[in-house]
Amino acid sequence: MSTEDSAGPFDLDGAWRLDERVSVRPERFGALLYHFGTRRLSFLKSPVLLDVVRGLAEQPSARAACVQAGVSSAELPRYRAALAALAASRMIRPRSG
């Protein structure tokens, strides 16, 4: 769902947020993300993933953000992989509390 392929392990139960240097532009297919620090562009290839990413800051965990956006348990592994890729490219960061 994101164009990055290097996805490592990802803590679904941790609290996450978008990096403050990331700008999000909704598009028909999902969204474009641009990180002003790394100058990298990422694509969110589904509107649901955009909802997940936007929900990260308010939800206690990434898992909760997925549930809130309507991701089913069968789909969860795909979303976990997409979030892992976003974390690897520093688009999203762990948040304390």
Which of 30/87 has CB closer to another protein? 30
Contact status: 27 vs another protein (CB under 8 A): yes
The span of 26-34, 64-72, 76-84, 86-94 binding another protein (CB under 8 A) equals 26-34
Contact present, 65 and 56 (Cβ < 8 Å)? yes
Contact status: 5 vs another protein (CB under 8 A): no
Contact status: 57 vs another protein (CB under 8 A): no
1, exposed or middle or buried, with CB in 10 Å at 0-12, 13-18, 19+? buried
Contact present, 13 and 62 (Cβ < 8 Å)? yes
Contact status: 28 vs another protein (CB under 8 A): yes
Residue 50: closest CA among 40, 42, 61, 39: 42
Compute the least distance from the CB of residue 60 to another protein, in Å: 29
The span of 8-16, 40-48, 51-59, 71-79 binding another protein (CB under 8 A) equals 40-48
Structure-token pair, residue 41: 């562009």
